[in-house]
């Protein structure tokens, strides 16, 4: 049988972890290939994590080859092929954005360094923990021996939300919707783009035929969906975030569908006027663990303005973490 894929998950005792680990263990990412889970938590959460491991044991998953837990990144990341960085410091009461960047900066500098020294040569790193784009930037800058292309931040949940909203609006099944793009930051400034998306092979903006809905309903609904979930559920999206984390990793490792693309926040090469070096969401195709930005799309003025606004926010975040000495 094939060697297990070694998958690290940080923040494993958290909400997203509680959904993500069971999906990973059941083969949602690797199919028949077994997985070995390496779970990182902070010390005070290890007891909770032990309880989660008891439940994983109780599922008797045939494809779960082993579980290791701990609070030392160097130990947990040893030899991992995939690291899903979910754990992050949430914004507490009275915390400014700078405080948040600093608290997370400490986590992602340390984890970047640990990955740099002990991860497998083929490691891929997906960052879900917020602020995801900038956390990914911090991690990659602190892992100089790992190619920057191996890091990505999660905008797949936004991508999936956009598909779902468009499907509901047009009455098309989600499987008819292709070429969706989230541009920019995983934040309220993100730009979910219907001008390049398709519904049953037809241009989505034309099928919708309603710029007012596109601007004043669709974009804000997708961009503020996280807040709407908190309002309704009393806690932030977790199962859907776990599902998107798996979707993103699966496409990255095993390839995106022919004739379609996916959204991933990856290090910019300057494509579409996104400043080089920012970790920004793009339309990408993926194959065998590599991604390629879809080139040659015409960008209309409306989209240009939205993309520029979101990438300006990313540049601000980069400046802030540079000033903090994190990168």
* Interface residue with ligand NAI, options 177, 241, 267, 293 (CB under 6 A): 241
Report if residue 16 touches ligand NAI, rule: CB under 6 A: yes
Report if residue 11 touches ligand NAI, rule: CB under 6 A: yes
Report if residue 42 touches ligand NAI, rule: CB under 6 A: yes
91 is in an annotated binding site: yes
Task: Give the C-alpha separation, 171 to 90, whole Å.
Answer: 37
User: Closer to ligand NAI at the Cβ: 239 or 259?
Assistant: 239
Report if residue 10 touches ligand NAI, rule: CB under 6 A: yes
Give the H/E segment covering residue 127. strand 124-127
Do strands 202-203 and 262-267 pair parallel, antiparallel, or not at all (unpaired)? unpaired
The three-point CA angle 83-87-92 to 5° equals 160
The three-point CA angle 60-62-63 to 5° equals 120
* Interface residue with ligand NAI, options 46, 120, 238, 320 (CB under 6 A): 238
* Interface residue with ligand NAI, options 13, 53, 114, 199 (CB under 6 A): 13
**Residues in region 22-41 near ligand NAI by CB under 6 A:** 40-41
- Our measurement of the distance from residue 228's CA atom to the centroid of its chain's CA atoms, rounded to an integer in Å, reads 19
Here's the x/- map for ligand NAI, 81-100, by CB under 6 A: it reads as: -----xxxxx----------
* Interface residue with ligand NAI, options 237, 243, 268, 280 (CB under 6 A): 237
Lateral strand order in the sheet of 279-287 = 64-70, 35-40, 5-10, 82-85, 124-127, 151-153, 262-267, 279-287, 290-293
67 is in an annotated binding site: no
Q: Are 61 and 45 in contact (CB under 8 A)?
A: no
Tokens of 153: 């931040």
Task: Give the C-alpha separation, 255 to 98, whole Å.
Answer: 37
Report if residue 52 touches ligand NAI, rule: CB under 6 A: no
Annotated binding site for substrate: 91, 97, 130, 161
Question: Can you say which residues are annotated as belonging to the binding site for NAD(+)?
Answer: 11-17, 104, 111, 128-130
Q: Which residues of this chain interact with ligand NAI, rule CB under 6 A?
A: 10-11, 13-17, 40-42, 45, 86-90, 107, 128-130, 132, 154, 157, 186, 236-238, 241
């Amino acid at each position: 049988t094939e060697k297990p894929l070694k998958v690290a998950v940080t923040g494993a005792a958290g909400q997203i972890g509680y959904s993500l680990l069971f999906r990973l263990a059941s083969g949602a990412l690797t199919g028949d290939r077994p997985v070995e889970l390496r779970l990182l938590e902070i010390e005070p959460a290890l007891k909770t994590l032990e309880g989660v491991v008891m439940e994983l044991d109780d599922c008797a998953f045939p494809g779960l080859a082993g579980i290791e837990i701990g609070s030392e990144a160097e130990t947990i990341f040893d030899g991992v092929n995939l690291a899903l960085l979910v754990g992050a410091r949430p914004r507490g009461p009275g915390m400014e954005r700078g405080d948040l960047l600093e608290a997370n900066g400490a986590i992602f500098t340390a984890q970047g360094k640990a990955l740099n020294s002990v991860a497998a040569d083929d490691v891929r790193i997906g960052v879900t923990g917020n602020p995801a784009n900038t956390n990914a930037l911090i991690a990659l800058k602190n892992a100089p021996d790992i190619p920057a292309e191996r890091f990505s931040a999660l905008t797949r949940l936004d991508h999936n939300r956009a598909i779902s909203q468009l499907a509901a609006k047009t009455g098309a099944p989600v499987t008819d919707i292709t070429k969706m793009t989230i541009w920019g930051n995983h934040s309220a400034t993100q730009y979910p783009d219907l001008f390049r998306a398709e519904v049953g092979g037809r241009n989505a903006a034309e099928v919708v035929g309603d710029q007012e809905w596109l601007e004043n309903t669709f974009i804000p609904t997708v961009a503020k969906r996280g807040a709407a979930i908190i309002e309704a559920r009393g806690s932030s999206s977790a199962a859907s975030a776990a599902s998107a984390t798996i979707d993103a990793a699966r496409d990255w490792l095993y390839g995106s569908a022919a004739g379609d693309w996916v959204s991933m926040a990856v290090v910019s090469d300057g494509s579409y006027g996104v400043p080089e070096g920012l970790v920004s969401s793009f339309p990408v195709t993926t194959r065998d663990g590599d991604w390629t930005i879809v080139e040659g799309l015409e960008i209309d003025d409306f989209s240009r303005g939205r993309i520029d606004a979101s990438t300006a926010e990313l540049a601000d975040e980069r400046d802030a973490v540079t000033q903090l000495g994190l990168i």
